[in-house]
């Protein structure tokens, strides 16, 4: 049986300690048109520095890099051909973190060669000091963002809180 002092110490440690995750391990999306999406991601993900580790018509297309993985899966037969619906319950968009503003500009030029719809050309937003990003869609309409935030981002501000910028204005490009 635990003594009262030991129990108090255990409770205090558990209340004061928080786990700190090490990022997002992987993201998995389901493509409405797997063949078309696989071709798109076969170009995009290696450009972003992710390495292909699986390419299987039934299991999906999977790349890993930058401390995360990205898996594109084929849909169940009854959902073949469906498109992603923005603002529906579930995923809103996926955002990859870049290492510089120049990376964002380079990615913008590359994504344009893929023929992807550009929702917003590179621009600075108020989400965090220096927040710079580009927003585009994959072939099924899943929105993808690539952003750069210098320094510690929000944690370089006194408030340490996000400054929401909704609705984000499309660039028309």
Residue count (the chain) = 173
Per residue in 72-129, pLDDT (tens digit) is 999 999 999 999 888 888 888 999 999 999 999 999 999 999 999 999 999 998 788 8
Burial class (CB within 10 angstroms; exposed 0-12, middle 13-18, buried 19+) of 159: exposed
The rounded distance, in Å, linking the Cα atoms of 40 and 65 is 17
The pTM of the whole model exceeds 0.85: no
Full set of structural domains in the chain with CATH: 23-76 (3.10.180.10), 83-173 (3.10.180.10)
Largest pairwise CA distance in the chain: 68
């Amino acid at each position: 049986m635990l003594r009262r002092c030991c129990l108090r110490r255990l409770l205090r440690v558990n209340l004061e300690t928080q786990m700190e995750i090490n990022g997002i391990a992987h993201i998995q999306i389901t493509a409405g048109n797997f063949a078309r999406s696989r071709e798109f991601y076969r170009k995009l993900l290696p450009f972003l520095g992710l390495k292909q580790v699986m390419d299987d018509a039934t299991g999906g297309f999977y790349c890993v890099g930058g401390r995360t993985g990205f898996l594109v899966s084929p849909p169940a037969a009854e959902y073949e051909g469906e498109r992603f619906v923005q603002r529906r319950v579930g995923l809103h968009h996926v955002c990859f973190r870049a290492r510089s503003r120049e990376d964002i500009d380079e990615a913008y030029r590359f994504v344009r060669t893929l023929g992807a719809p550009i929702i917003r050309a590179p621009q600075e937003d108020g989400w965090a000091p220096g927040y710079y990003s580009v927003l585009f869609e994959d072939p099924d309409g899943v929105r993808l963002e690539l952003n750069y935030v210098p320094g510690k981002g929000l944690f370089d501000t006194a408030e340490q809180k996000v400054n929401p910028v909704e609705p984000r204005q499309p660039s028309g490009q």
